[in-house]
Amino acid sequence: MLQLRQMIWQTDRFQPAYSSELRRKTQKTGSTMATDFKFIPLIDVSPLLEKWDHPNIAQDEGVAQVVKQLDQACRDAGFFYVKGHGIPVSLMKDIKNIAREYFHQPYEEKIKIKLSAETGYRGYQRIGENITKGKPDIHEAIDCYREVKHGMYGGLGDVMQGSNIWPSNPPNFKQLMEEYIDRCTDLSRKIMRGIALALGGSVDEMEGEIGGDPFWVLRIIGYPAASVSNGHDKAHDDVGCGAHTDYGLLTLVNQDDDIVALQVRNKTGEWISAPPIPGTFVCNIGDMLKILSNDIYESTLHRVINNSPKYRVSVAYFYEPNFDAAVEPLDVCLQKTGGTKNFEGAVYGKHLVGKVTTNFIM
């Protein structure tokens, strides 16, 4: 298997997907946005979680209803809220609170875990250091990735080699985040089982060589309050995070309950707000699931604009394929879309590295 993967990395069969758009094999007519949705649907995934490892999961009526809702949401918006997820609301709040405590420290304290190429792009970045399409984003953040050991993925993993650097203050930061990551990984795997069924595949369609050993990313993000100076309202000029799609399979966003800032773009170009619903995650699909589905599902553009007078915290967990996964449209999705691949394949690790190495002003 290692030899096969090395051959894949050295050939042109799986092209990196980090150009301005995912590399298409065929020209698709119309907008690449989702539908002209006006709101983000809410899905109770508890029936799926209760039966996630049951041998007859696909025949369960409660699971079938969740699968239907997931399919509709991924087709229409590429976004949905998740409730009944089993992660304690108290933990979700603790994560945001400890993140806020870190960001409210002096810069000299925060910079002790500064992000750099030498840290495998892990650590803290100041406001404006992260860029989207060449423009600075008005947020500060800590970036965390699953550990990549020397030689773990051959040369593919060199850029991301390393382990996370955690702050010593606030106390318990590392322990709390690692517990949260474990819970989000477990939840995401179960949701992906539902999405596999929604696409018409087997319950474990997204596991094995695609996601049996999933990579993950955690971004702990702080958005400064909107500012007013010289009589000019800067809130409408300061984009917390520019319009983008996510890289991998699935994202879970844990956002402040009292600030509306996340916006999702529909087919007509209208930006639809995703207001917080306490106790839920905002969930969206990424570029790799778009490829796997052969364009049945859309990785929808979204952005963050914090027009609030309050500092905003958001913690985004990204569930990804295996780092060395060669991702291409699934056979079951090809059958549904006329048999023609809409995308060249992509090695997930190449896609990630191509993004990470161009994301920062350093």
The pLDDT of residue 271 is 95
Concatenated DSSP letters of 282-332: EEEE-HHHHHHTTTSS----EEE---SSS-EEEEEEEEEEETT-EE---HH
Please say whether the beta carbons of 202 and 196 come within 8 A. yes
Is 18 among the domain residues? no
Is 325 among the domain residues? yes
Mind listing the pLDDT tens digit for each residue in 3-14?
Answer: 333 333 333 333
The candidate with the shortest Cα–Cα distance to 190, out of 200, 199, 203, is 203
pLDDT tier at 28 (50, 70, 90 boundaries)? Answer: very low
Average pLDDT over residues 91-106: 99
The pLDDT of residue 297 is 96
Does the pLDDT value for residue 231 go beyond 50?
Answer: no
Is 29 among the domain residues? no
Is 244 among the domain residues? yes
The pLDDT of residue 237 is 52
The pLDDT of residue 5 is 39
The candidate with the shortest Cα–Cα distance to 99, out of 305, 316, 276, is 316
Is 160 among the domain residues? yes
Beta-carbon contacts of residue 134 (< 8 Å; ≥ 6 apart)? none
Please say whether the beta carbons of 319 and 218 come within 8 A. no
Is 339 among the domain residues? yes
Tell which wins on pLDDT, 159 or 8.
Answer: 159
Average pLDDT over residues 319-323: 98
List beta partners, residue 148: 162
The structural domain count of the chain equals: 1
The pLDDT of residue 358 is 84
Please say whether the beta carbons of 123 and 116 come within 8 A. yes
Could you tell me the CATH number of the domain that includes residue 316?
A: 2.60.120.330
Mind listing the pLDDT tens digit for each residue in 248-267?
Answer: 999 999 999 999 999 999 99
Tell which wins on pLDDT, 194 or 7.
Answer: 194
C-alpha 111: how far from chain center: 25
The pLDDT of residue 129 is 85
The candidate with the shortest Cα–Cα distance to 282, out of 305, 244, 234, 250, is 250
Please say whether the beta carbons of 254 and 187 come within 8 A. no
The pLDDT of residue 134 is 73
List beta partners, residue 250: 285, 319
Listed range (54-58, 70-74, 127-131, 247-251) with the worst mean pLDDT = 127-131
Average pLDDT over residues 217-222: 98
State which residues form the domain around 265: 2-6+43-356
Is 17 among the domain residues? no
Q: How far is CA 333 from CA 201, 287, 328, in A?
A: 8, 15, 10
Is 34 among the domain residues? no
For residue 225, give the DSSP letter: P
pLDDT tier at 23 (50, 70, 90 boundaries)? Answer: low
The pLDDT of residue 29 is 37
Please say whether the beta carbons of 127 and 140 come within 8 A. yes
The candidate with the shortest Cα–Cα distance to 269, out of 80, 35, 76, 40, is 35
Beta-carbon contacts of residue 291 (< 8 Å; ≥ 6 apart)? 17, 22, 327, 328, 329, 343, 345, 346
Average pLDDT over residues 56-64: 95
Tell which wins on pLDDT, 357 or 216.
Answer: 216
The pLDDT of residue 225 is 93
pLDDT tier at 361 (50, 70, 90 boundaries)? Answer: low
Does the pLDDT value for residue 75 go beyond 70?
Answer: yes
**Strand, coil or helix: 179:** helix
Does the pLDDT value for residue 241 go beyond 70?
Answer: yes
Rg (CA), the chain: 20
Q: How many CA atoms lie within 13 A of 299 on its CB side?
A: 21
The pLDDT of residue 232 is 36
Does the pLDDT value for residue 26 go beyond 80?
Answer: no
The pLDDT of residue 191 is 99
Average pLDDT, the chain: 88
Residue 186's φ and ψ, nearest 5 degrees, are -65, -45
Average pLDDT over residues 25-44: 70
For residue 345, give the DSSP letter: B
Q: Does pTM top 0.85 for this prediction?
A: yes
